[in-house]
Amino acid sequence: MDRRVLLTSPEAWRLYTFALMYAVTNRSDGMILRDDLPLVPTVDPGCADELVKVGLWEPRRDGWQITDYMITQSSRDELDQLERIRAVDREKKRRQRLSPGQSPGQSPGQSPGTAQAGRQGRQAGRHQSEARQG
């Protein structure tokens, strides 16, 4: 609901939102290079001046910086860190699934027989309940 965004034409709004997606995807920290502007799909590059005029973009020597990008979007460093954390988590889960002595359906850290004992206990409780009703 940024007032600056609300003041833009539909074409400039499209350029702004697609440029945000482009910057996040390409991890440019909000920098839109003049040579990259034609790569932003389905937009009118001529709307860049309108975005500068309303204060959403700041002109740079080789393109534009999306104003407030570092406040509203994830930076390249943050995205790289999240990617590393996810990779470590995936590897940890993969190792847990492959750990020896673990039967299918057994949670990591659960001792062998615990899952079976739990199933047997539930079955015994069901049989006792049925005997009382029958």
Integer Cα distance of 105 and 61 in angstroms: 59
Domain chopping of the chain, boundaries: 3-71
Supply the pLDDT for residue 77. Answer: 81
- How buried is 36 (Cβ within 10 angstroms: 0-12 exposed, 13-18 middle, 19+ buried)? middle
Supply the pLDDT for residue 20. Answer: 94
Supply the pLDDT for residue 33. Answer: 96
> What are the structure tokens assigned to 51, written together?
């975005």
Supply the pLDDT for residue 43. Answer: 94
Strands 31-33 and 57-60: unpaired
Helix (H) or strand (E) holding 87: helix 76-98
What averages of pLDDT result for each successive group of 10 residues across the chain (134 residues)? 92 96 93 94 94 97 94 78 85 85 58 56 57 58
